[in-house]
Structures are given as structure tokens and as C-alpha cells.
A and B are shown apart, each in its own frame.
Chain A
Amino acid sequence: MLFAISKRLLMLVPVLIGITMISFLLLQIMPGDPASRAMGTRASPEELQAMRELWGLGKPLWVQYLYFLRDCLTGSFGVSIFHKQPIIDLVAERLPFTLAIVGYSTVIALLIALPFAILAAANRGRMLDNVVRQIFVVVVAMPPFWLCYVLILWLALRMGWFATGGVGDGFLANIGRLFLPSLVVGLSTAALIQQSLRAALIDTMKADYIDTARAKGLRGHEVFLRHILPNSLISTISIIGVRVSWIIGGTVVVEKIFSVPGLGSLLIDAIVSRDLPVIRGLTVFFAIMVVIVNLITDICYALADPRVRLE
């Protein structure tokens, strides 16, 4: 197992190098001189010159890339022009909020998807199955940023159940504060989990060992809770793994609207203020997050299902 994991980690090296290359190329497609675009019109010639030297502009492209790679490897990911801080410090302040929404939304997604998947699988091919499917068609069709406003309008302003945005102090306060943003991200994940879980439940119900379990005298709900459900949930792990890039991307939109000071808000602010090093550093960081979560879900999947081995 340890050997397999370290092999997987080694295979990640070329992917990580590729990620830094794409992020590096991102700023190369920009028209004009990066230094003056980044610093704006108010910068003095000395400041511009310092900027060019810091980034190695004027040197060959591959040297500029090595400068950037050095920043990533030393862990700073570059220095923000606007905040005048290493990007990793900005990330460290905001990462907990983004991770909280990613985790919280996944829990919400599971809680929503589970009953609907069971309901649909138990009534497969009948009216109820169809109704559940159409409910999720509507859920998926709702644009997340619009849903944010509808929820703010309805649950926060009209009913007064939730705050309209921001974050609170401590764990308990944030369970309430982060509920609406996590719900918006979680709903679209729920649709996907419901679909795959329904299929997995139906497959598992047909398996021979379920007949065996019934034959040895287990009651219906015992068979369901001890055999069918756990075995079906395993497939959900890999679905979350596939979906994680989308979940993390979804946090960007909701964070901005609910004024959550996470990585997504940082990215949008960097785009508005043209803080190019932050845009570049953050794209690398977001991709690394996806790669790490993917790795974790792969490992969980292998641990949960002995038939799957990490290659």
C-alpha cells in the first residue's frame, strides 16, 4: 500500500510541472508588457524596472519560467503586487474557509442525495423514480450565482433564518454562516451523487450475496443497512473524486456573493485589481488542491474496496 502510494506521488511530478507551465503560459498570452500591465499607469520607471527584474522579463522565456518554478518550489508562489505579501501567506489565511465549504457542501450533498437515491432505487421504473429524476433536472438547471441570490432573498432577508453573508467566529458560528454557500455548491453535487448512487443501489440489489443474506434469514432493512447501502456508497467516493474539481471551482462563485474571505474571493479580487502574480499563483494552487483531493479519494476508494488496488 505504502509503495503504491509513493509510486502515485512520483507520477504526480510531471502533472505538477505541467500545471506550473500552463499557469506560466497564462500570463504569456496577455497582450502588452506584463510589468506595466500589472503595475498600472501610476508606477514610476524605477518600480517598473524592479518588477521586470523580479520576474526576469527580458530574459529568455525558459529562464522566466524557471524563476516562476523557483517561486513555486520555495513555497511562496510569487509576491502579490497589491498586498505586497508572499502569495502563500494570503492563501494560508483564506484556505480554511474554502476547504470548509468544500467539505460542508459534500456532506450536504450526501444528506440530500441519500434519501432521494434510496427512494428512486426502491421505486425504479415507476412514477416516483421519474419524479425524483425530474426534480434533479431542475436543480441542475439552476445557475449557482442566481440561486445564491434567491436563497439570500428568501431565507436570509424574508425569513431571517440566515445571515446574508460573511463569516463568524469559531466552528459553531460558521455552521450557520457557511450553510447557504455550501448548500448552493452541494445541490449540484447532490444531483450527480443521487444519479450514481441510485444506479449502484439497483446493481447491488441484484448481486448474489444479497440473495445469500436474505436466504440466511436477515430482515429487509438489515440486508439494506448492512449489505446494500455500504457497498453502494463505495462508488460514491469515486464520483466525489471525479467531481472535486467542479466542487472547488464552484466555491469561487459562492464565496464572492456571500462575502466569504476564501481563495475564490482572493482570485476575483486579484482579477479586478489586475494582481497578475496572484492570479498565476492561485491557478497553480487550485490545481494542486484538485490533484491532492483526487489522490486522497483514490486512496479511500482502494481502502474501502479491496478489489481495487492502486497501480
Chain B
Amino acid sequence: MPILRKLLRTPAGAIGLLMLAVTLAATLMTPILSPYDPLALDFAAAMQPPSTAHWFGTDNFGRDIFTRILAGAVFDLRLALVCVFGPMIMGVMIGLVAGFYGGIVDAALMRLTDIVWAFPFYVLILAIVGVLGPSEANLYIAFFIVNWIGYARIVRGETLLVSRLEFIEATRVLRFGKPRVMLRHILPNVVTPAVVYSMSDVVLTVQAVAAMSFFGLGVQPPAPEWGLLIVESIDYMREAPWMAIFPGLAIVWIGIAFSLLGEGLATALKPKG
């Protein structure tokens, strides 16, 4: 894994990976790290401030917030990763086809991206899920409709540049099939900026997924999704601010991890010279 080694050599990439590894390990080891149940109610322990027994305090139902945040990581990471990398694959393919074939295919696809691009991200996502009804599946549909655009634009531009290079000319002389040229020869040379972009996309998507729960349009209670944890804390903001602060910091933590990873990847994947 030469890329991984290069990534670990950049300080940002190494710290980002470490933060993600810690998150993943903590998620997997939740039962060892915490004796509490993320869903069981315990009114005797309600709204306790952070202490050695409850690191991040407890909520209005006496549930341990540290445990709920660890249990919620599964929801937020799954949603964010699917909502970024699913549309990313779609966008990369569309951009590749548009840039490679050019002409009317390109013109049509690019007009479509222009039009979808005009809708503010949050407005379109909210409207789609608002119309379809709140559920995790509909959240995926909304993000698949919206999130591919950036990747299609980036990859199309790169493909236009690479297609003019000599080694692609050579594949034409060799009479390679078009799918083979696109996937084996162009794709590896155009995908880097899309990968770097996807890291900052994860940062924004984690926030968007949580925001959708906040509007009641995402994951439904009593799931310990981070956005939901924040919504449920609002009525107790004065008495128990830790209920809102720590789930938010979890989102910040993931955001910083992926930002650093993106910074590291940009350095590690930069061509020499």
C-alpha cells in the first residue's frame, strides 16, 4: 500500500487516520468501554452532569450520553459514507462518459448539472425528503439525486484534459475498446481530485445528515443518531447543556478527522514535479 505509506508520512493524514481508527475502535468496543445500555431508561440517573461514572453526563431519561454517542456513530458514519461514496461512484462515471464522448452527450449532461447546481443543497434535500416522507431510505434517495453533481463536474474536466494526452491517442491506434480505455487508462488518471473532494464532502454530509434528523426528516427516534441527540436536548439546554454539547463535538471530531485526511490525501496523491 504505497498510498497508505505516503499518507502516513504527512502529519495531517496520519492524525486524521488515527482519529478515525480511534472512532472505529471505540464503536466496535462499546460494550467493553461502557457498562450502560444506549436505549434503556433509568430515571434515577436523569440529567447528571459529566462525572467519572458518566463521562459525558446523562440525558433526561437517565441514559448515558457517552454510550449513546458511541452507539450513534454507526448511524452517522453509515449514512455519511453511503451518501458520499454512492453518489461519488455515480458522478465519476457520468463525468467520465461526458468528458470522453463529448458532443451531445456531454452537452446534455452538463446542462443537467448546471440546472441541479442552481438549487441550494439544503433546499433540494429538504424538499425531496419532505415530499417523499421521512425515512432513512428516502434520505439516501435525496442524497443520490443531489450529491453526484460535484464529482461529475470535476471528473469531466479532468477527462477532457487527459483524453488529449498522447498515451490515450496510443490506445486509439491500438484499437482498444472504449470501455477499456475509459476504465483502465483514463479513470486512474482523473480520480484523484474527486477522492480529495470526497473528504470535504464527508465533513458536510455528516452535518447534513444530522441536520435532517434535526428537522424530523432523517433517522427517527429513539435511535441514538447524533442529530437526534442534539434535538432531544434542546428543551433542557439551560439545565443540562452537556446533552447538546457532546453530540455536537462528536460531529466536530469526525469533521476534523476527514478534513485532515483530505489534506493528507491531497499531499500524498500530488504528482511529483
Contact = CB atoms under 8 A, between A and B. Distances in A.
Given A146-B251, A276-B131, A153 B237 contact: yes
A30 B132 contact: yes
Interface residues of A, dominant DSSP:
helix
Given A15-B115, A249-B120, A271 B127 contact: yes
A26 B132 CA distance: 9
Given A26-B128, A245-B119, A276-B131, A141 B230 contact: no
A150 B241 CA distance: 9
Contacts of B244: 146, 149-150, 153
Interface in A80-100: none
A137 B259 contact: yes
B157 interface: no
A105 B273 CA distance: 40
A22 interface: yes
Interface string A255-274: 01000000000011011100
B122 interface: yes
Contacts of A143: 206-207, 210-211, 227, 248, 251-252, 255
Interface in B120-163: 120-124, 126-128, 130-132
Interface in A4-53: 14-15, 18-19, 21-22, 26-27, 29-31
Contacts of B248: 142-143, 146-147, 149-150
Contacts of A290: 118-120
Given A141-B203, A245-B121, A290-B120, A271 B217 contact: yes
Contacts of A150: 244-245, 248
B55 interface: no
A59 B234 CA distance: 47
Nearest to B131: A30
Interface residues of A, number: 49
B53 to A, nearest CB: 24
Contact of B122 (A14, A21, A152, A252): A252
Contact of A287 (B119, B126, B130, B210): B119
Interface string A219-253: 00000000000000000000000000110111011
Interface stretch (A115-123, A208-216, A278-286, A303-311): A278-286
B127 A283 contact: yes
Nearest to B211: A145
B260 interface: yes
Contact of B131 (A29, A149, A248): A29
Interface string A108-127: 00000000000000000000
Interface string A125-155: 0000000000001101111111101101100
Interface string B186-224: 000000000000001001001100110011110000000
A250 B115 CA distance: 19
B117 interface: yes
A132 to B, nearest CB: 14
Contacts of A66: none
A272 B134 CA distance: 11
A141 B251 contact: yes
B60 to A, nearest CB: 16
Interface string A148-179: 01101100010000000000000000000000
Given A31-B132, A146-B230, A150-B248, 4 more contacts: A141-B255, A142-B255, A153-B238, A245-B119
Interface of A: 14-15, 18-19, 21-22, 26-27, 29-31, 137-138, 140-147, 149-150, 152-153, 157, 245-246, 248-250, 252-253, 256, 267-268, 270-272, 276, 279-280, 282-283, 286-287, 290-291, 294
